[in-house]
Amino acid sequence: MKQSVCILGATGSIGQSTLKVLEKNSNKYSIFAVTAYSRMHDLVDICKKFLPKIAVVPEEKKDELYQLLKLNRLETIEILTDEDGLTTVASHNDVDVVMAAIVGAAGLIPTLAAVKAGKRVLLANKEALVMSGDIMMQEAKKNSALLLPVDSEHNAIFQCLPENYMSVENNNNEPKLGISRVLLTASGGPFLNTPLAELATVTPSQACKHPNWSMGQKVSIDSATLMNKGLELIEACHLFAISERFVTVVVHPQSIIHSMVQYIDGSTIAQMGNPDMCTPIAHALAWPKRIDAGVSALDLFVNNKLDFQAPDTKKFPALRLARESMQAGGLAPAILNAANEIAVDAFLKDKISFTNISNVVEETLNSLENAQANSLEVILDTDQCARNIAQTYVTKMGK
Ligand code: NAD
Ligand code: MG
């Protein structure tokens, strides 16, 4: 029997890589549903090639999609809309695997719906876990969902952990099973060697030019500020039930080692590979088996230099803010994430400078009272509140 897959965010960078892996393994997987927020022509190309049963788009795109599908004699593909449509496909009885690849907070509700329905959930949408941490992990356990990391670092950590790691209880967030530390690698982004004094004037297009990975705009900017590593630090703490005290960020500019796990006997286990998201996607799709990802094997005679350094949190305060938010716990990570989404959007629209992205986040964190993140409603309310406050700082700071 083929596994039936739903791709949330099919037109994005992770969505496209997922489609590549699925195409290579079409004897094992079929595509039940795809979703997109914009770019209806791209979505129709996907529909032509993969013939899903359902496509989900915003209500205002429904007519455009219908006309395009009709033009291609694909009007039998059902169109659903908005958040209801997303949660319907993410939790659909006919779906085995959900790729959570919507960017930002918009992915939270549908990803949580997949988790609550007990699916195999391939998690790319790190913002969803950063916002809802404990709730998402508890729902996964309660509903026997298999939450597998697609983020390359977390997928690497998962591959370096003992096989039974996820099933062993850990209530105190101390390392278990002989593990002493997790080493989360970071490329350092496009401004690793840019002097601090020049950061205020960098442009969105410079910030989007990642040295090793080709990604969506938001995660590219997050990589440039190192907020991506901050969000990933929080993601790692939740996924692997480990305190941030045991997670060290290591800058490794070549992105060949995707992260490491250290053990009490002095061993450090690393997962390596060419920087291509098809590898972690294929791993999470097939785990515990392996499938062909279409990625060439690593050539260590070509990639023969691996460098490491500590991150500069003076130059990249976003990483410090994320660590402090994780230490504070409660709603702080959700506030951090919401403010960051607003600030990144403002930077992309040329409304604030690059260095003001983390200033907006810091001011927003300082403006809001922290509290327990004990319900989804509280998290969503706080997300909205943090967005409003961040927006006022965007206006105040300007460029
Ligand atoms: P992207 O911008 O390329 O694609 C985002 C997808 O989400 C698109 O299909 C878009 O239509 C959809 N979308 C956007 N806004 C939406 C909304 N409001 N409602 C519903 N759908 C919406 O992003 P990406 O680079 O593919 O990243 C997706 C997620 O994966 C992010 O959370 C990112 O941090 C994570 N991630 C990406 C990479 C990478 O290499 N691109 C690596 C690791 C993790
Ligand atoms: Mg990553």
Residue 154 lies in a domain: no
Using omega within 30 degrees of 0 as the cis cutoff, is the peptide bond preceding 149 cis?
A: no
Q: Ligand 1 in contact with 46 (CB < 6 A)? A: no
230 Cβ inside 6 Å of ligand 1 = no
Domain termination site, one of 125, 149, 173: 149
pLDDT score recorded for residue 399: 73
pLDDT on residue 365:
98
pLDDT of residue 212 exceeding 90, the answer is no
Q: What separation in angstroms does the CA of 346 have from each of 108, 128, 217, 368? A: 22, 21, 12, 20
What confidence category does residue 347 fall into, taking pLDDT thresholds of 50, 70 and 90?
A: very high
Rounded mean pLDDT, 333-362:
98
Overall average pLDDT of the 179-183 stretch: 98
Task: Tell me, yes or no, whether 159 lies in a domain.
Answer: no
Q: In this structure, are 122 and 169 located in the same domain?
A: no
Which amino acids are annotated as binding site for Mn(2+), given as ranges?
A: 151, 153, 232
Residues 369-384 have a mean pLDDT of 97
Using DSSP's 3-state secondary structure scheme, residue 56 falls into strand
Cβ(154)–Cβ(259) below 8 Å = yes
pLDDT, tens digit, 9 for 90 and up, residues 213-236: 789 999 999 999 999 999 999 999
Cα 6 → chain centroid: 17
The whole-chain average pLDDT of the chain stands at: 97
Residue 294 lies in a domain: no
| Together in a domain, 261 and 358 | yes
Domain boundary among 149, 178, 194: 149
Range with the poorest average pLDDT among 14-23, 160-169, 360-369, 378-387: 160-169
Three-state DSSP at 237 gives helix
Ligand 1 centre to CA of 103 (Å) is 3
Q: What is the CATH number of the domain that holds 60?
A: 3.40.50.720
pLDDT for res 202:
97
Q: Indicate whether 381 belongs to any domain.
A: yes
What local confidence, expressed as pLDDT, does residue 213 receive? Answer: 79
DSSP result, 82-108: HHHHHHHHHT-TT-SEEEE---SGGGH
Question: Which residue's alpha carbon is nearest to atom 18 within ligand 1?
Answer: 106
Q: Tell how far the Cα of 85 is from the centroid of ligand 2, in angstroms.
A: 28
**Is residue 89 located within the same domain as residue 202?**
no
Whether 121 and 225 map to the same domain: the answer is no
Q: What is the mean pLDDT of residues 187-207?
A: 96
* Residue 8 alpha carbon to ligand 1 centre in Å: 9
What pLDDT does 26 receive? 98
- Ligand 1 lined by 15 (C-beta under 6 Å): yes
> Do residue 181 and residue 330 come from a single domain?
yes
Residues 311 and 182 occupy one common structural domain: yes
Same domain, 78 and 141: yes
Q: Does residue 289 sit within a domain? A: no
Domain span at residue 320 reads: 165-275+302-397
Lowest-pLDDT range of 39-43, 163-167, 185-189, 357-361: 163-167
Q: Is residue 243 part of a domain?
A: yes
Q: Find out whether the beta carbon of 215 lies less than 6 Å from any atom of ligand 1.
A: yes
Does 376 share its domain with 254?
yes
* Segment 198-205 mean pLDDT: 96
52 near 75, Cβ under 8 Å?
A: no
DSSP state of 12: S
Within this chain, do residues 361 and 259 fall inside the same structural domain, yes or no?
yes
- Report the residue among 21, 215, 345, 348 best suited for mutation to probe ligand 1: largest number of ligand atoms under 8 A from its CB: 215
214 Cα nearest atom in ligand 1: 40
The percent of residues above 90 in pLDDT, for the chain, comes to 96
Domain termination residue (choose one: 124, 149, 174): 149
Residue 252 CA: distances (Å) to CA of 158, 168, 192, 279: 19, 31, 10, 19
Whether residue 201 lies inside any domain: the answer is: yes
Burial 62-82 (b: 16+ CB within 10 A, else e): beebbebbeeeebeebebbbe
Asked if 383 and 338 count as a contact pair (C-beta separation under 8 A), the reply is yes
Report CA(125)–ligand 1 centroid distance (Å): 7
| C-alpha separations of 161 from 30, 178, 365 in Å | 30, 10, 33
55 and 102 co-located in one domain: yes
- Section 258-284 average pLDDT: 98
How many domains does the chain divide into?
Answer: 2
Quickly state the pLDDT bin for 72 (edges 50, 70, 90): very high
**Would you list which residues are annotated within the binding site for 1-deoxy-D-xylulose 5-phosphate?**
126, 152-153, 187, 210, 223, 228-229, 232
